[in-house]
């Protein structure tokens, strides 16, 4: 079994505004595997957060993970992916559906963990890189 931990984040300067996502993937021993960031253009903070989760899961699967722990500082994203909160926003629902479909097609075990912002520093740093490069 290959477990990977995915730290994801997303943000927008303004809401909506210039937005970026960032993903940091490591082993359970915290050995870095991959760092990615992407400028999203003008969108909302929640869309950026969800887009980061989607990219992180896609990359972990592409790297051969059979177990993924998604860690994010967005309580909304984590609780919606766990099924504890309903997804009402159409834009978020679209990405939520993509994530659930991706996970249902892969032989993978996933856990969703809410982490405080201060425990998500590398993903946060990459978000600013993404937004700075896009602006």
3-134: CATH architecture: 2-Layer Sandwich (3.30)
The set of long-range contacts for 84-89, using a CB threshold of 8 Å and a minimum separation of 24, is 89/46
Q: Where are the domains of the chain?
A: 3-134
The Cα–Cα gap between 40 and 51 comes to 9
The Cα–Cα gap between 47 and 42 comes to 10
Torsion angle of C-alpha atoms 35, 40, 41, 46, degrees rounded to 10: -110
Residue pair 65/26 in contact (Cβ under 8 Å)? The answer is: no
3-41 pLDDT per residue, tens: 999 999 998 988 899 999 999 999 999 999 999 989 999
49-87 pLDDT per residue, tens: 999 999 999 999 999 999 999 999 999 999 999 999 999
């Amino acid at each position: 079994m290959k477990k990977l931990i995915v730290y994801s984040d997303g943000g927008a300067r303004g809401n909506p505004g210039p937005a970026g996502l960032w993903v940091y993937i490591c082993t359970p021993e915290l050995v870095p595997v991959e760092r990615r960031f992407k400028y999203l253009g003008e969108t909302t903070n929640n869309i950026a957060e969800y887009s980061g989760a989607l990219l992180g899961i896609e990359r972990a699967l592409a790297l051969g993970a059979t177990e993924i722990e998604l860690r994010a500082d967005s309580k909304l994203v984590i609780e919606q992916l766990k099924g504890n909160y309903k997804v009402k926003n159409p834009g978020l629902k679209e990405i939520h559906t993509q994530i659930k479909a991706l996970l249902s097609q892969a032989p993978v075990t996933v856990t969703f963990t809410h982490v405080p912002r201060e425990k998500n520093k590398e993903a946060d740093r990459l978000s600013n890189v993404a937004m700075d490069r896009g602006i």
